[in-house]
Amino acid sequence: MKVLVGYKRVVDYNVRIQVKPDGTGVVTDGVKLSANPFDDIALEEALRLREKGLAEEVVVVGIGPADLTAHLRNGLAMGANRAIHVQTADAVSPLTAARTFLKLIEKEEPGLVILGKQAIDDDANQTGQMLAALWDRPQATFASKVEITDGKATVTREVDAGLETIEADLPAVITTDLRLNEPRFIKLPDIMKAKSKPIDVIELGSLGVDAADHIKTTHYSAPPKRSKGVMVKDAAELVAALKQKGLL
Amino acid sequence: MTDPRLSELAHLLPELKISTDPGDLEHHGRDWTRRWTPEPLAIAWPSSIEEVQGVVRWANAQGVAVVPSGGRTGLSGGAVAANGELVLSLDRMNRVLGFDPIDRTLTVQPGIALEAVHNAARERGLLYPVDFAARGSCQIGGNIATNAGGIRVIRYGNTRQWIAGLKVVTGTGDVLDLNRGLVKNASGYDLRHLVIGSEGTLGIVVEATLSLTSPPPPSQVMLLAVPAMDALMKVFAEARHRLRLEAFEFFTDRALHHVLAHGAQRPFDETHPFYVVTEFDAADERAEADALAFFEFCLGEGWVVDGAISSSEGQAAALWRLREGITESLAPHKPYKNDVSVRISAVPAFMAEMQDLLSAEYPHFDVVWFGHIGDGNLHINVLKPADLDNAVFVGQCEHVTSMLVETLARHGGSISAEHGIGLVKKPWLGSVRSEVEIALMRGIKAVWDPNGIMNPGKLL
């Protein structure tokens, strides 16, 4: 079985996000960029399936500008067999990402696609669901446990009410939740080996994907600063203050 | 509060919070050492400089000793109160008082936690660079009193380098306003530096003006598996030559064993005798390529046999946890601890000699080494064998200390690199400082604290 893994690059989740002064986006220059944490979990899960003998090949897929190569090399160093770099200088919406994956699926014919449940930059939580619909295959989202047997995936999902276990026929789309696994460290000797692993570069335009932007982001702004707390002397003053704010 | 001395204190300072609750006495009467039974007279929580002065004047009048008390994360007994002292806790003086963007200084009260200082600096786009594992609980006043070091000394130096000004209440109750944030001030003895590292024996830090700096560019963390002790310093020299180091720490396989048993993530499938955690600037792809070239070179020389690198800040933290989690993971084994230093170049010879002595005399001991090897600072921990009686173990450890002191003396080292002398190291001060030096220190103390009420029995 071949496993396709989405591997997006985002601003590291420990970085304090700053909005550009002109409101056209967030500052990414000189800022630590890392793999989307849920994508690291997706890749880790694919590698574990391969190590268990349930998958033969793990392919990481990135959609983005030319300098995404170094990021994909990290995915290769972590253990993916090869990488596909779909090049575009434009921002990629979830729908465009899903359509791109569909084109790659037609070519690669994977038995399983594992994506992060969402990327921590836009927090859209859409690509996996859209892809399953376009591909007309089952989806198992928010996975916290995955078992593969006899062409079926048994997936434990983290839902509001607790845990839900579902069965999906393969091929299918799985999206990962935080507790699925703990991604391994990248070993330095593997970075050296990853230099010789293949990265296929495909222009997004050449895939025939409709990449039209249906949604336009007009402005970015930082959330309002939290105002300072107020000290009150006693319960009566607290009640009065809350009433004044219309909270009681 | 039946003690008349406390009634007098409460009368003099009616706003002062005082407690004689047994729980408070035990909690605030000790630090992270457990050798002494806490027995303070009471705990007082002043909330202003004037209240600190009032307490000190009362202590002079009543002949009560005062133990200044911060986060009490110390390992040398410097904050232990076991002889009816008044513990003067700075917990309530924990605010940021001011920030000057032109001076790049942050003025704080002494009871603020180190981590809160980090956050206050970060909120202003700057960095307070002194950092170590106890950051969440330790307080800046205690950092100053011990000239705390930690994991970034290799790049930024000790606490001393970052103190632009200090307000101190002396043992007589006078307030000194030392250096006032001046960058240059060639006007005689710099008393600020006497207070830094004085372990509360000269006075109480009541306000500090801290220098801040620009945050470093993004960094990466590397974990290296090192096959032999003599390779450690070669790896260090190579790393310092090729990379802009933020930290360079080492630990042994025994240390990793305990951290993993405590729940950390295993980095390599095989075990190796030594590990290095190093953090370095990785602003761009060139810096990352330099790091890889450094690794390839060391691999080629046989100085390292495996390595892992952080691909995100989360993984950087996970790699750091392998080093920073050691102290906590050892705690259940009641370790005998020592914090020593030698010149950086003398580390392998000193460590080999000490390890040989230990293996010969106490082959059954689980000896765990780790530390800031890039500063020549080693932490040695001997774990109590489960089947060994505690009293016997303590006796044997005293002998280990004698061996350590003699070995250090041969290598020109220090029995306390960064933990301070406190009570624990007091018997050995003479191995690091000459008689004349110690006499001068006593003379200084007598001037600052003529009645000997400031943290008596510690250091001297």
A-proximal residues of B, 295-314, CB under 8 Å: 295-296, 299, 306-314
Q: Do residue A40 and residue B311 have CB atoms under 8 angstroms apart? A: yes
Residues A219-229: what's their mean pLDDT?
Answer: 84
Taking only the tens place, the pLDDT of each residue in B105-134 is 999 999 999 999 999 999 999 999 999 889
Residues B275-288: what's their mean pLDDT?
Answer: 89
* DSSP per-residue string spanning B399-416: HHHHHHHHHHHHHT-BSB
Q: Do residue A35 and residue B223 have CB atoms under 8 angstroms apart? A: no
Taking only the tens place, the pLDDT of each residue in A53-91 is 999 999 999 999 999 998 999 999 999 999 999 999 988
Predicted ipTM of the assembly: 0.73
Taking only the tens place, the pLDDT of each residue in B445-458 is 999 999 999 999 99
Q: How confident is residue B285, by pLDDT bands cut at 50, 70 and 90?
A: confident
CA distances from A239 to A227, A234, B128 (A): 19, 9, 40
CATH number, domain of A88, equals 3.40.50.620
Q: How confident is residue A232, by pLDDT bands cut at 50, 70 and 90?
A: confident
- Hey, CA dihedral for B325, B327, B333, B338, is it positive or negative? positive
Q: Which residue is it, tokens 């160093």?
A: A77
- What range does the domain containing A70 cover? 2-244
Q: Do residue A13 and residue B311 have CB atoms under 8 angstroms apart? A: no
| B4-89 matches B96-211 in fold | no
B-proximal residues of A, 29-88, CB under 8 Å: 30-32, 34-35, 37, 40, 70, 74, 78
Residues A189-207: what's their mean pLDDT?
Answer: 93
Q: Regarding predicted confidence, which is higher, B327 or B49? A: B49
Average pLDDT score, chain B: 94
Residues B325-345: what's their mean pLDDT?
Answer: 90
Asked if A79 and A190 count as a contact pair (C-beta separation under 8 A), the reply is yes
Q: Is the pLDDT of residue A245 over 80?
A: yes
Tell me if chain A has a CB within 8 Å of the CB of B287: no
Q: Do residue A12 and residue B122 have CB atoms under 8 angstroms apart? A: no
Taking only the tens place, the pLDDT of each residue in A141-193 is 999 999 999 899 999 998 888 999 999 999 999 999 999 999 999 999 999 99
Q: Do residue B309 and residue A185 have CB atoms under 8 angstroms apart? A: yes
Nearest to A32 among B218, B296, B308 (CB): B218
Q: Do residue A187 and residue B295 have CB atoms under 8 angstroms apart? A: no
Q: Is the pLDDT of residue B151 over 90?
A: no
Percentage of chain B surpassing pLDDT 90? 83
CATH number of B4-89: 3.30.43.10
Q: Is the pLDDT of residue A238 over 60?
A: yes
Residues near A72 by beta carbon (within 8 Å), at least 6 away in sequence:
A7, A60, A62, A83, A85, A199
Taking only the tens place, the pLDDT of each residue in B347-384 is 989 999 999 999 999 988 999 999 999 999 999 999 98
Residues B189-197: what's their mean pLDDT?
Answer: 97
Strand segments, DSSP code E, in B65-181 are 66-69, 86-89, 96-100, 105-108, 163-170, 175-178
pLDDT of residue B263: 87
pLDDT of residue B211: 98
Q: Is the pLDDT of residue A212 over 80?
A: no
What backbone phi and psi angles, to 5 degrees, belong to A121?
A: -85, -55
- Nearest C-alpha neighbor of B87 from the set B62, B109, B66, B64: B66
Asked if B460 and B200 count as a contact pair (C-beta separation under 8 A), the reply is no
CATH topology of domain B334-418: Alpha-Beta Plaits (3.30.70)
Tell me if chain B has a CB within 8 Å of the CB of A220: no
Q: Do residue A188 and residue B222 have CB atoms under 8 angstroms apart? A: yes
Q: Is the pLDDT of residue B164 over 90?
A: yes
The structural domains of chain B, with segments of one domain joined by +, span: 4-89, 96-211, 219-327, 334-418
Q: Do residue B308 and residue A182 have CB atoms under 8 angstroms apart? A: no
Q: Is the pLDDT of residue B1 over 60?
A: no
Q: Which of B122, B280, B288, B312 to mutate to test the interface with A (most CBs of A within 10 A)?
A: B312
Q: Which of A14, A32, A60, A121 to mutate to test the interface with B (most CBs of B within 10 A)?
A: A32
Asked if B224 and B298 count as a contact pair (C-beta separation under 8 A), the reply is yes
CA distances from B147 to B88, B153, B162 (A): 20, 11, 10
Residues A101-125: what's their mean pLDDT?
Answer: 95
User: What six digits make up the tokens of B184?
Assistant: 């240059």
Residues near B131 by beta carbon (within 8 Å), at least 6 away in sequence:
B114, B118, B150, B151, B152
Taking only the tens place, the pLDDT of each residue in B71-96 is 999 989 999 999 999 999 999 999 99
Least confident of B17-21, B57-61, B198-202, B398-402: B398-402
CATH number of B96-211: 3.30.465.10
Tell me if chain B has a CB within 8 Å of the CB of A28: no
Instruction: Report the domain count for chain A.
Output: 1
pLDDT of residue A231: 82
CATH topology of domain B219-327: Alpha-Beta Plaits (3.30.70)
Residue A11: closest CA among chain B residues belongs to which residue?
B312
Q: Is the pLDDT of residue B176 over 60?
A: yes
pLDDT of residue B286: 85
